Structure 1
Amino acid sequence: MKNDALPALKALDAPDALDPSGFERLLATRASCRGFLPTPLPRPLIERILAATQRTASWNNTQPWQVIVTDAPATESLRQALQSQQPEPAGFEIPPPAEYRGVYLERRRACGWGLYAAVGVAKGDREASQRQANENFRMFGAPHLALLTSDKALGTYGVLDCGGWVNNFLLAAASHGVATIAQAALAQRSAFLRRWFGIPEDRTIVCGISFGYADTAHPANSFRTPRAPLAEVVRWVDQ
């Protein structure tokens, strides 16, 4: 059977079609930003990042993601509303981890203490740690937010596809010098966000991504998390 897509794909088979070292540098240098400049991004730049991210693979090409993107004034209005909101019980629409244990607990603790060390939060200082946690609901000063939802009927695999979208957005943004941080914390305020944006009931709130230009002088942005060596995460089967 003739495959009309094959001629278009041949270019990708050429050894010089892509630059693996460039992609590897992008992966190595991208990091979560926890301090942004207020400078808004040009709309065409945001659209270019979104267009690249739209190439994300999904089960049966369902593309379950829908994204609400706020411009700087809308982000500021949301930021003020989140700050003035009375605390509510965590309202995740996707169940959070039941437990962190073993190496996962160790990595989580290392991440937390590394961030606290960078911003000067001492161990046991609950007031300071709460202030830092509340930065999530300020979107760390970012001028833009992308709030991601999935089709509820597509369940776990729809959310999994959205995870691929999130990762590609982070990398596409980084390729343009735009800083990002993916925030499950915002999904805790799902009821508020659903009302604020008029999100229909057939959508599941997955997470937010705050983005903009990084404040390179912010101490939180000096912090980097390590990655486990391959030996810890890969099991080879030879025969």
Structure 2
Amino acid sequence: MTFEELLRSRWSCRAFRDEELSDELLDDIFRVAQRTASWCNTQPWQVLLTRGAATKRFAESLSAHVRGNPPSPDLEMPAEYRGVYRDRRRGAGYALYASLGIDRQDMPAREAQMMRNYLFFGAPHVAVITTDRLQGTYGAIDCGGYVANVLTAARERGVATIPQAAIAVYSGHVREFFELPEDRLVVCAISLGYADESDPVNGFRTERAEVADAVTVVDR
């Protein structure tokens, strides 16, 4: 596929098969993403990549923590969703629940689906992306570019992914589980593996704004 085709066909997978990826395939994906541009070539990203029993232990530990503890993000979360940002967020949420046949008023079912974030939607691998604390905002921005390239490299190789800020909302527990040093900040996680094509949730797609909604040309 061309680069445009890769971007158009990539989606956030919310149901994975339990089949693990080979070491060679994982190495290939992250080797390509390592070419990501960064401020002064600092390459601030570091990745903790789980497989096998480690993924299961992390899912069990994180799920239990989420049920009984408040959020503890390393990075500031959005203060509020207003206007078009609120509309886009709601639209994505409504489409997701519709694909699963979950009514807007069915709060138990919505809660159960939300908790699947912390089971990584059944993915066999989770990549926790961290940045260097001293690199500040621009270190996190560089990590965003890295994450985008991981997603695209994976898609090119037939691997499904979903980037998850939900994991970073509980950075304190992530830090404790992986014994992260204080100089590392949790940016997000990426769950990855092979998609379960039989699950209806994987037929759900989000929309994108028009170029004119995002780009203003200044010519004088």
Q: Do both share a fold (TM > 0.5)?
A: yes
Amino acid at match of 1:72: G
Q: 1:195 deviation in Å?
A: 1.0
Q: 1:79 aligns with which of 59, 64, 68?
A: 59
Q: Deviations over 1:50-99 (max 9, x none)?
A: 00000000000000000000112210111122233342111111111111
Runs (4+) off by over 4 Å: none
Q: Which consecutive residues of structure 1, in runs of 5 or more, have no partner in the other structure? A: 1-20
Answer yes or no: is 1:184 the counterpart of 2:138: no
Q: Which consecutive residues of structure 2, in runs of 5 or more, have no partner in the other structure? A: none
Amino acid at match of 2:11: A
2:20 touches 2:193 (CA, 8 Å); kept in 1? yes
Amino acid at match of 2:95: G
Q: How does 1:14-163 map to 2 (within 5 A)?
A: 22-85=2-65, 86-163=67-144
Question: In structure 2, how many angstroms separate the alpha carbons of the residues matched to 1:193 and 1:229?
Answer: 37
Q: 1:236 deviation in Å?
A: 1.1
Q: Deviations over 1:107-126 (max 9, x none)?
A: 00000000000112101111
Count residues with an aligned counterpart: 219
Question: In structure 2, how many angstroms separate the alpha carbons of the residues matched to 1:97 and 1:83?
Answer: 22
Amino acid at match of 1:41: L
Q: 2:156 aligns with which of 175, 192, 199?
A: 175
TM-score, normalised by the number of residues in structure 2: 0.97
Partner of 1:219: 200
Question: In structure 1, how many angstroms separate the alpha carbons of the residues matched to 2:166 and 2:175?
Answer: 15
SS state of the match for residue 68, structure 2? Answer: coil
2:15 touches 2:195 (CA, 8 Å); kept in 1? yes
Amino acid at match of 1:71: R
Q: Which has the larger radius of gyration?
A: 1
TM-score, normalised by the number of residues in structure 1: 0.90
